[in-house]
Structure formats: C-alpha cells, structure tokens
Structure 1
Amino acid sequence: MPHQRTFALSEQASGCGRRLVVRNGHHQSRTVITAAGPIEVRAPRVNDRRVDEATGGRKRFSSKILTPWCRKSPKISEVLPLLYLHGLSSGDFVPALEQFPGGAAGLSSAAVPRLPRQWQDDHAAFQCDLSQTDFVYVWADGAHPQVRLGQAHSCVLVLLGVRLDGTKELIAPAEGLRESAESWADLLRDCRRRGMRYPGLVIGDGSMGLWKTLAEVFPAARHQRCWAHKARNVTNALSKSAQPGAAKAMQEIYNAEDRAHAEKAIEVFARTYGAEWPKAVTKLTDDRDELLAFYDFPAEHWIRLRTTNPIESTFSTVRLRTKVTRGAGSPAAALAMVFKLVESAQARWRAITGAHLVALVRAGAGFENGVLVEREVA
C-alpha cells in the first residue's frame, strides 16, 4: 500500500493531465548507520514539477523516511549527545561504539565537541514566552557545578516550577555571581518580562538576595524556607555532641501533623538549646513563619514544599558530568551543557503527589493544616 503522502502527490496533475511528481530512477547508493548496524540504501529519485504559488519557484520533494544526506538513523543521532552528557568523554566514543555493529562508522572524536554549539541554540530558543504556562510552586536555588562560567565565583541560578497539572518543568537557568541580589533580580525580572505569572509559593534557601528581590518582583508570592538548608545552618552553630539531638528535634518540627504541634516543637527546641547556643535558636525562630508556610497548602504537597531537593537531586547529575569534562570551554557552552543536562533529567521527573490539588491552590482555595477548608457562600 503506498504511503498516504506519496499517493496524494501522485494524484496532482498539470492542466494537460500529466502528473507533476514522478519517479525517475535512483540516487547513488549510500550507507546509513542504524541500531542494527550499517545498511546500504539506494533511494529513488523524484522529478518534481510543482511550482510554489507564493514564490514562483520550483518545489522540491523530500522524503520523510530518508532525508537528504542522512548518514545516521535518528536513534543513533539521539544517543550520541546523551552519552556525552552522561559522562562519556569525546575520546572514548570511537573505541566504545566499535563494540557494536557499525556503531563507530563515520564517527570521529572531533564530531562530538561540536554538540555544545547546537545546545547553545537550543538554550537560546528555550528562553521564550512564559505567559502560556502557569507555575503555582517554584523552587529557586543556586548550584555550583564544576564548569567554566564567566567569573571565579559564578554559579548557576535555577528556577523549577510545578504547572497546573502537577508536572514539574524547568523555568530558567542563568549565570549568577554568588547568588547576589543583582543576579536574582536579573533572572526574576527577565521571567516577568517573558510573561511569568506570580507563583503561589517559592521555596528557597536563606539567600537574602533571593527573598529581597522576590518581594520586589513578585510581591504576592509566599515564601517557604528550605528545611534542609536551615537544618545544616542550625547544627553548624552547635557543638558536635549536640548536633544529633538537635537534628532529631528539628525533625519533630517539620514532620509535625499540624502547625500547632510544630509551634510547640519550636518552643521545646528553644528551651533546650537557647541557654547555651542562643545563635542556633535565633536562626530557627527568626524564620518561623517562612519555615512553617507549607502548612497552608495541601498535605499531599508538604514533602516537596519543605525543601529545594528537586534542584539538588537534579544537579547531582550535572556535577557527575562536569567532573568528566573538567569544564566546557566557555561560559556560554557551560551554561548550555547545564541546560541540556537538566532538560534530559526532566524527562524522568514525576508529577507532584496530589496533582489535582495544584489547580485548587491557584484558584485561591483555602487550606488549613493541609486540609481543604470549605468556605460558606454568602
């Protein structure tokens, strides 16, 4: 049975009744690398007499099955950047792929480093309009992969969001300097210019630059401090002998069944450690409201809202890759590599638990200690 597109073209005819698209012999044979090994292919030649009405020029038939100059199947082309991203050095491609039938044919180690140029184009295209996507929850953090960014103290500022359907998505990666207020301001204002709506809750660490800028750019967004970062900061202010007990006491706070029990656990922590380590207690009590903000959201979401772990776990892959490459050659290439690594990991992200509740949060539904509050209609 002929292909539907081919059949449609064969029905096109000129005013004289002659077909405009006809087969005319074959092209020279060529070898195409596939997952099953090299295959010799001899594609038909097509004589296309159609005329483009808009330009007046001749149209050119192009096969969707075997594109012109194709030497590798799409699957092979997709595997190469994935292998490079996940730790295979460029010099190891040929000896590694030689173990597969025809896997290294037509491949050189010099061809692999050209991939970052395509990734830079992909990164530029990614920075597009955000007005069509509504992010209800946003994680914000700065990561420090071992790549050659623009300055000695540069880092990668990352925003990850949860859409209305509960799925997670990368919003923006950008280069920043020590997570400063200026760097966060550039990123957040750029997102606002691209149409990003204010998030319902932003989860981040204790970076004062982030919270100061967030209050200016998205004043309606609520703040949630990351408990993982806070726990490390508090325990670092204690003696080593007191750290295990303090860590367990803080678990009693953020694992409490409701806000009232969490407040009581904070008071217990303050009485236990306040006399000897007042600085540690101050680090906890000063951010009490931001640390307990998650209680005003669905209980199904609490485990994800208490920490910036979605960013931390994603960048463990980035650090693994950059240890192999020892840098990416230029700041633009480094940021493009980080973008492609996160984009690759994004395909494996699972939707947030209780995804159906995300839309209720955006609609303004009230939650008290994680439970939906029914409002009386006046």
Structure 2
Amino acid sequence: MSDNKVIPLEKPAEFCSDPLTELLRKGARQLITDAVEAELNVLLDQHADSKDSNGHRQVVRNGYLPEREIQTGIGPVTVKVPKIRDKSGQGVKFNSALLPPYLRKTKSIEEVLPWLYLKGISTGDFHEALQALLGSDAKGLSASTISRLKQVWEKEHESWSRRDLKLKRYVYIWADGVYFNIRSETDRQCIL
C-alpha cells in the first residue's frame, strides 16, 4: 500500500479550452480539407482520359498521407493530404500548392518570429512566448530552430544592405517643427 496522499486535481475541460478557438480551428481544418480536395479533383480531371484497356482510370485516389499539424495563428490545425496512385507509370504525383510536403507553419507564424526577436525575446524564451501566443500545443519552434532562422535572417539582412541602389529613385520630404501648447494668462483665467 502506498503512503502517497496526494490527489491530483484536473481542470475541468470547459476551463482548458476556448470554445471559439476550437470552432475556428475546426472551420480552418474543414476549409483546408475542401481546398486540397478541389486541387486533387483538378488533377484527377486532367488525367481522366488516361484509361487502361478495360476502361479503368490510370490515375486514381489512394487514401491519405499521415495526418500532420500545421502551426497557425489560431494554434495547431491537423490536416490530412490525399494521395493518388498512378497505374500508368507516367510518374504523376499530387503535391498540394496550399500544403506543400514540408510545410509545418503558416506564413503569419514565420513573420512573427523575426518581430519577436527584434523586440528582445531571447532564443531560449521563444517557446514560452509562442505558447502564450499560439496555445500550449505550439510545437516545432525550439531554440535550435530559432537559431537556424536567425542565421537565415542575418544572411537576408546582409544581402539587403549590399543591394545596388544606382537605378533606384526615392522621393522624400523632410519636415521639422516644434509644437507648443502654451496658453496666455487671460486664457487660463477664462478656463478657471
């Protein structure tokens, strides 16, 4: 028999999740699914005429790739990408333009990372900051990932700072001024 008298208390489900965020994630998941299915149907229609001697299509649906999570501005969204089977040997493959094979985070997440870095979030604190922004399920953005991204940003900045400006023309306006909000003695007496 154990002498442990500690009883773990769990938070009720209603306090752990935000119903509006869950609704948004469910809607995003459905929207992504519909868009990817439409992409697949376009590909299948392009190869509808490719048939074998028995009249069966040579390019057909063939289940789904393993489910994966995409980090979005509303937290992680699980997606399933359909697969095709090319029986003709032409090498037809389906790669969604919306969900490329190695996409793990949306563009909005990629854009917020440099902004957080410039605002002073240290590499080691990114995970905690992103959990606060994206929810506790934020994954895939470790300190080593941020360090690699930082190297990319530094290279981009270096190439940007060395770009050729000879053929560029910029118009600018320089304005300088001082605004005083001083009231006279009579103005102050009227206010009182």
TM-score, normalised on structure 1?
A: 0.30
* Residue 25 of structure 1, CA deviation: 0.6
Write out per-residue CA displacement over residues 205-251 of structure 1, whole angstroms, 9 at most, x where no aligned residue: xxxxxxxxxxxxxxxxxxxxxxxxxxxxxxxxxxxxxxxxxxxxxxx
In structure 2, how many angstroms separate the alpha carbons of the residues matched to 1:118 and 1:45?
33
| CA spacing shift, 1:63–1:5, aligned 2, 3 Å | same
Three-state SS of the structure 2 residue aligned to 1:3 is helix
Structure possessing the higher relative contact order (Cα contacts under 8 Å, 6 or more residues apart): 1
- Report the alpha carbon displacement of residue 123 of structure 1 after superposing the two structures with TM: 5.0
2:155 and 2:106 map into 1 onto residues whose CA distance is: 22
Query: Which amino acid is 2:85 matched to?
Result: N
**What residue number does 1:78 align with?**
111
Q: 1:33 to 1:4 in 2, by over 3 A?
A: closer
Please report the RMSD computed on the Cα atoms of aligned residues, expressed in angstroms: 3.5
Q: CA deviation at 1:88?
A: 1.6
Decide whether aligned partners of structure 1 residues 98 and 60 sit closer, same or farther in structure 2, where only a CA change above 3 A counts: same
Cα deviation for residue 21 of structure 1 reads 3.9
303 and 107 in structure 1: CA distance in 2 versus 1, 3 angstrom threshold: closer
Q: 1:124–1:87: structure 2 CA closer, same or farther, 3 Å change rule? A: closer
The share of aligned pairs that are identical, in percent, is 35
Asked if residue 3 in structure 1 is aligned to residue 38 in structure 2, the reply is yes
- What amino acid maps onto 2:145 in structure 1? A
- Indicate how the Cα distance of structure 1 residues 113 and 303 shifts in structure 2: closer, same or farther if over 3 A, else same: same
Determine if contact 1:22/1:47 at 8 Å carries over to the other structure. yes
Structure in which a larger fraction of residues adopt strand: 1
Residues 132-188 of structure 1: CA deviation (Å, up to 9, x unaligned):
x7323xxxxxxxxxxxxxxxxxxxxxxxxx1xxx4xxxxxxxxxxxxxxxxxxxxxx
Is residue 2:100 matched to residue 1:62? no
Could you tell me which residue of structure 2 aligns to residue 24 of structure 1? Answer: 62
Corresponding residue for residue 113 of structure 1? 147
Contact 1:97–1:103 (Cα < 8 Å) also in 2: no
**Equivalent residue of 1:94, what SS?**
helix
How many angstroms apart in 2 are the aligned matches of 1:129 and 1:28? 46
Structure 1 CA distance for aligned equivalents of residues 97 and 136 of structure 2: 24
Show the 5 A alignment for 1:1-378: 3=38, 6-7=41-42, 9-12=44-47, 13-14=49-50, 16=52, 19=57, 21-48=59-86, 51=90, 58-100=91-133, 101-102=135-136, 104-122=138-156, 134-136=167-169, 162=170, 166=171, 303=174
Letter aligned with residue 107 of structure 1? L
Gaps of 5+ in 2: 1-33, 177-192
State the number of aligned residues: 135
Q: Is the 8 A contact 1:38 1:102 kept in 2?
A: no
1:98 & 1:50 partners in 2: Cα distance? 46
Deviation at 1:96, TM superposition (A): 1.7
Q: Which segments of 5 or more consecutive residues in structure 1 lack a partner in the other structure?
A: 52-57, 137-161, 167-300, 307-378
The Cα shift of 1:15 comes to 6.7
